[in-house]
Amino acid sequence: MRKGAPQSLTGVPRRADQENDAIPKVAPKWLKHDRQVLNFKAYFQEPVVEDPTENYRIRKCVVYYYLEDDTIHILENRVENSGIPQGVFLKRHKVPKPDGSGNYEWEDLNIGMDIDVYSRVFRIVAADDFTRQYYVNEGRNLSPNENFPDDPFVHTRAMINMKQNPPDLAEHKNYIEVSLKGGAPNRNLKSFLDNDRRVLSFSILWEDCSYDGGDKYYTLNFFLSDNSVEVKEINTQNSGRTPFPKLLKRQKLAKRPLLTHYPGMSLRKEEYYAPEDLACG
């Protein structure tokens, strides 16, 4: 055979093109829908016996449908002090249909329908945005969302947890404490609990015009818990001054101090500095 002759003239059949079998033409389900989960909100009604305040109870759940392997996982929202073991209601696995025709698939789920899971009937009432968009991409539309029914247990718990003290109970407690020779009521307790460890810090300057004075810099700390003030000196090396920690120890700072020979001689009340009295400049 002459070199370079066309293969059609040689009478040898053409070899078929080889395919790359390592990469599948259609992505498998576990790869295509990896980490894609349909989220539905549902509830089931549980009967309550021997309770005069309620006959049934609405238990809200979240139904997760994993598209990669068609498994279902059901979680129940935890309610504080409900007395019911809550959390994982159904572990993740394929849930069979009650008629034995197979397992539940995403085509079998829709809003406003009841699903029977091991003789427990769940009512689907809502779905998230990703679930709705997935059904639209598959050519199906979900029904509009529904509201959860009224649960008498919620109103019962609200009445139990509601603690309303009489308006004069605090004054009555203070009167009993004082009558029993107890300590005086702490009127600054609320301010301490709300503003403990909250401090306003300012950098201040004192222009000392004395012989050995000059510009002296300090740090003023205002404590919001009790409206007290302290002034700390800023010591520098080789300043020629005796290093002293504080110019003013922590105390309430009066705007116009009352100068008397002995404490308590004046009946006038002093006015102290407040946070709104401090400003830069």
> Tens of pLDDT along 20-72?
666 667 778 888 888 899 999 999 998 888 777 778 888 899 999 999 999 99
* Domain assignment of residue 67, given as a range: 29-157
| Residue 142 lies inside a defined structural domain of this protein | yes
- Residue 225 in contact with residue 192, Cβ under 8 Å? yes
Task: Give the separation between CA 69 and CA 94, rounded to whole angstroms.
Answer: 8
| Average pLDDT of the chain, as a whole number | 83
Which of 101-115, 183-197, 249-263 bottoms out in mean pLDDT, i.e. has the lowest? Answer: 183-197
User: pLDDT of 123-162, one tens digit each?
Assistant: 999 999 999 999 999 999 899 999 988 877 777 767 666 6
Joined tokens for residue 25? 């033409």
pLDDT on residue 24: 67
- Here the CATH number for the domain that contains residue 97 is 2.30.29.170
| Residue 5 lies inside a defined structural domain of this protein | no
**The sheet that has 246-251: what strands, in order across it?**
199-208, 214-223, 228-233, 246-251
Same-domain pairing of 38 and 142: yes
> For the chain, how many structural domains are there in total?
2
Amino acid at 15: R
Same-domain pairing of 41 and 110: yes
pLDDT on residue 228: 92
Task: Give the separation between CA 148 and CA 248, rounded to whole angstroms.
Answer: 63
pLDDT on residue 167: 64
More confident residue, 261 or 98: 98
User: pLDDT of 164-189, one tens digit each?
Assistant: 666 667 677 777 877 887 766 666 77
184 Rama class: left (phi>0) / alpha (psi -120 to 50) / beta: beta
User: pLDDT at residue 221 above 90?
Assistant: yes
Task: Give the separation between CA 234 and CA 223, rounded to whole angstroms.
Answer: 19
Span 190-217, average pLDDT: 85
Q: Confirm whether pTM is higher than 0.75.
A: no
| Residue 272 lies inside a defined structural domain of this protein | yes
| Residue 4 lies inside a defined structural domain of this protein | no
pLDDT on residue 132: 93
| Residue 263 lies inside a defined structural domain of this protein | yes
Same-domain pairing of 196 and 141: no
Same-domain pairing of 210 and 265: yes
- Residue 111 in contact with residue 124, Cβ under 8 Å? yes
pLDDT on residue 101: 87
Which of 84-93, 222-231, 234-243 bottoms out in mean pLDDT, i.e. has the lowest? Answer: 234-243
Cα separations (Å) of 33 from 20, 27, 29, 69, 253?
23, 9, 6, 9, 69
| Residue 15 lies inside a defined structural domain of this protein | no
Same-domain pairing of 147 and 202: no
Last residue of a domain, one of 110, 141, 157: 157
User: What percent of the chain shows pLDDT beyond 70?
Assistant: 86
| Residue 214 lies inside a defined structural domain of this protein | yes
| Residue 122 lies inside a defined structural domain of this protein | yes
